[in-house]
Amino acid sequence: MRKIEVVEYDPSWPKHFESEKTLLLNTLGSIAIEVYHVGSTAVPGLAAKLTIDILVEVRDLAALDDLNGEMEKIGYKVKGEFGIPGRRYFQKGGDDRSHQVHAFTDRDDNVFRHIAFRDYLRSNQAVALEYAALKKRVARQCNNDIDKYCCGKDAFVKHHEEIAVKLKAFHPE
């Protein structure tokens, strides 16, 4: 059973991401447009689960599917859409998951949504601290049930994602 634990920010997380990004780019080649560090481990100072969330923007999902064997060779379990149409999801590390990859095409709104939320948390320390406190509380209460953990954060995430998307659309970089 996977333990749901939220820990204080670790400054080594960006280095872990960069190493994995290099591995993914070498594995995926030209079908990968960009590889982004997303999720809580991508926000300096934010408490998080010990899993590096990675977003891979790809040219074509069918071409990515053709590389499932290569993803398995570098330690990823292939999970398909895993509940989100148009996504490809991969996990590394089994019950002690170290990395997870969410892959979408460059035309998918989920790319923009993930990046907008990450950037919003990076620039809003008060919201990030509130989110960290919520995650810690929910992790203590969920009894290692990932569905309960996600449910406990859902309203907060949806509310702030909506704000983040509007702000990023209004103020693109």
6 found inside a domain: no
SS3 110: helix
Could you tell me the pTM of the whole model?
0.94
Number of Cβ within a 10 Å radius of residue 133: 12
Structural domain span for residue 116: 13-170
CATH number, residue 17: 3.30.460.10
Per-residue pLDDT of the chain (173 residues; tens, 9 = 90+): 689 999 999 999 999 999 999 999 999 999 999 999 999 999 999 999 999 999 999 999 999 999 999 999 999 999 999 999 999 999 999 888 999 999 999 989 999 999 999 999 999 999 999 999 999 999 999 999 999 999 999 999 999 999 999 998 777 66
21 found inside a domain: yes
7 found inside a domain: no
For the chain, what is the domain count?
Answer: 1
